[in-house]
Structure 1
């Protein structure tokens, strides 16, 4: 697990270095911010359209092999991009095609790597393993964004892609030496997934439709999707809203927002450490943290200065990070083992949908209400919606507790009839005749 955590950190640092450089590269080639956004959408599109199919592949193939092949392919794409940049042969269509290919590979590689990390520890330690993964992601994001500028300034753009390719190769080389812990999860598997009596294994159900149907029938997963959607559409997209707030009403500059972004990253790391201590997180915890983050967002929208904003940004990032860790734990432990790849694939599609819809929604809200109004209104909307859902669920639970079930209604007369009689049996013919 320690080796896997180090590999995750190296890989995330390389990935965020490449993402940072890729946006700069698109701007250099086209001079268009719209083209930069388009490249990000093209890379996210496979996750939206093929996420569940990628999860089905993960459920069917060995995770170590799937993760190793995925990391090797992503490394190859990064090195190919570096060669094209070095030879000055990279144009916009080629870059878009490579971005789409990266997103396609990630639909399989992402769930495989997530579930492989969980296989390295005992069942009771899975929440901690997910927390360690979140910590590696946050620390890698911070390190990668910082290293991108240094690498490009000293070695050039192609070097950043080479570094990312090396980071993928490092992970691919670590995976064969990992030793998963064999956990007893057979009881949670359906009969079709268990070995037959003759020793042969029956074919598993790896259909995409079944994965989506399973997700839709699971109230906890549907609730998480709703929480993620409303918080993505009206809050949490701080890289968009806070940059407008800092450079607009608070009269800051790019350096000021860099400080805010650094505090956000530090809060994410602190939240990941706290999230790693969770043992059995649930949807209620995610909802509570979502409400807390939304109320802090309201206060951030009312901030009179950058100093006050910095004080609020840290707990906002901590709440978001702990909620993400709790959310990931539920997604990766609530479904049975044979369905987890498809659940993560479906989640990837849902999250990508919210991610694509959030920027234009927030942009429109800021155009209509201003950035302060958008932060305040969005935070209040998130908090009130989640609060109302909690109250509605509480009332339903109370009503269900008071009302007798169908089984109780049917079984009550039968249980009364089967109770032993307290009347003494007749001991003589006269008593028997009287009783009759």
Structure 2
């Protein structure tokens, strides 16, 4: 893979401008900005077109679902694919696909034949392209800048989207007012072409760690397993779902509030979104000033509190002018919160599983957005718009309690570079082992004084979690009842290839956990490591013996 460029010598301390010192990041960021402007123009045009084509608040809210649902269906497969194949080629495919869909929707709309269902269908196809694109696009940033600069690069990616949110709706609104939503869709398609060109000229070398290749299903299982045994990632996913489910009431119902409750035109809706975008851009600079004062947990709490006020204001405020500052604050809170989630996810995982974990983060985020859009839209149709927004505000308030069982973890000081060599080296082999042979059992014997057993147990629990996270199907620690000082750690892996991958997945941070366990070993020699392979090297099942024949029977 292309080596991550070093920090520039002229700027030893990273800041918000530092990522622009890297030429490839700069080119990709500009292309993404243009594409994001087109996307937000498309969002405004699509939502407003459906609002004018139907009287159903549910169909309007389903525009958000049509955008989010494909991510729910495709994010995890996209993440697995992104970790297995060349990400550049995948980005070229997704950008080209979205260009064709957007241009097709524009041509169809300009003929005057489009219905609300048609717009939802094309939006769903664009959502499919975005679902395949998003996990890979986010992980590309880690290849363009070094780790100390990554939080600022992630923030700038959010700024790009929110500058587009400030500009795109206004441009989209003008084009809708004077021409047709169809021309907005055409321009969006052209913006994807520009991004395709930039990606085409990015010369990225494919990653190759020299180990046995994963298949698609195995890669999916490995990603799920990694998240399952990573408490910091689990905390992010829980908090992300809770936030997106409640905050999506604003995105799903804002056009309905503007058109039905305030009786305003499309220009006012575009202005509302522009205030949101302006607030988000301001939030990027605010992060630079308060980042060292507010940890990730407090940022998410602050963002949730702001959205309590946002939903209340949309339900109760009688004038659009009072909503402008509310939208500004909401945009600031949105960027700070979403940047906190994204930064935490990307800085808590090693590169080998990054696209898969990011895809699960996107899956949970879009699931919250999709489900929230359906719930709030259905509630607005069956009851009232005001009640739906008030209930959404109540949800956001209740979600603050999640900070206690699921606190956000700080990523500072983590080192996910490969641990080379791993302390437990693979044994010297007399003959080659087929990668598909297995299962494999690894046993590590320690001599631990009984007085240290309690402390050893706590350290071993952390190591067991790492074994399970990196590929073990079972893991545990046992004591010899005849010799209490002898403790054996074991873990069980499906195949020899998967065990080889375990060695390559072990990081320098993991080595610290392992070193803490081995600190309790009191033997003169290092802990004894033994590898067992299923015998014989065929599926390890019992074979029934042939039946005995009675005496005198025919031979």
TM-score of Structure 1 vs Structure 2, range by shorter chain: 0.7 to 0.9
- Structure 2 match to 1:290: 300
- Aligned equivalents of 1:57 and 1:417: distance in 2? 45
- Structure 1 match to 2:214: 204
Confirm or deny: 8 A CA contact 2:41 2:172 kept in the other structure: yes
- Structure 1 match to 2:72: 48
Aligned mate of 2:356, from 336, 342, 353: 342
- Structure 2 match to 1:425: none
What does residue range 152-191 of structure 1 map to in structure 2 within 5 Å?
Answer: 152-178=176-202
Residue 57 (structure 1) shift? 1.4
Which moves more between the two structures, 100-109 or 162-171?
100-109
Residue 87 (structure 1) shift? 3.4
Q: Rate the CA distance shift 1:368–1:316 in 2: closer, same or farther, 3 A.
A: closer
What does residue range 9-408 of structure 1 map to in structure 2 within 5 Å?
Answer: 9-30=33-54, 32-91=56-115, 94-178=118-202, 194-195=209-210, 202-206=212-216, 207-235=219-247, 237-239=249-251, 261-275=273-287, 285-297=295-307, 301=312, 314-362=328-376, 364=379, 370=387, 374=391, 377-387=394-404, 389-390=406-407, 404-406=455-457
Which moves more between the two structures, 31-40 or 328-337?
31-40
| CA distances 1:233-290 after superposition (whole Å, capped 9, x unpaired) | 34464345778889999x8967887665443322211123444689999xx9333122
Residue 30 (structure 1) shift? 4.7
Gaps of 5+ in 1: 187-192, 196-200, 392-402, 419-436
Confirm or deny: 8 A CA contact 1:83 1:158 kept in the other structure: yes
TM-score (normalised: structure 1)? 0.74
- Aligned equivalents of 1:147 and 1:408: distance in 2? 58
How many residue pairs align between the two structures?
391
TM-score (normalised: structure 2)? 0.60
Which moves more between the two structures, 382-391 or 169-178?
382-391
Q: Rate the CA distance shift 1:203–1:279 in 2: closer, same or farther, 3 A.
A: farther
More helix by share: 1
| CA distances 1:123-149 after superposition (whole Å, capped 9, x unpaired) | 221211111111000011221111112
- Aligned equivalents of 1:57 and 1:41: distance in 2? 24
Confirm or deny: 8 A CA contact 1:128 1:279 kept in the other structure: no
Confirm or deny: 8 A CA contact 1:247 1:253 kept in the other structure: yes
**What RMSD in Å do the two structures reach over aligned CA positions?**
4.2
Q: Rate the CA distance shift 1:276–1:140 in 2: closer, same or farther, 3 A.
A: farther
**SS of aligned partner of 1:404:** helix
Gaps of 5+ in 2: 1-24, 409-453, 461-483, 486-518, 524-555
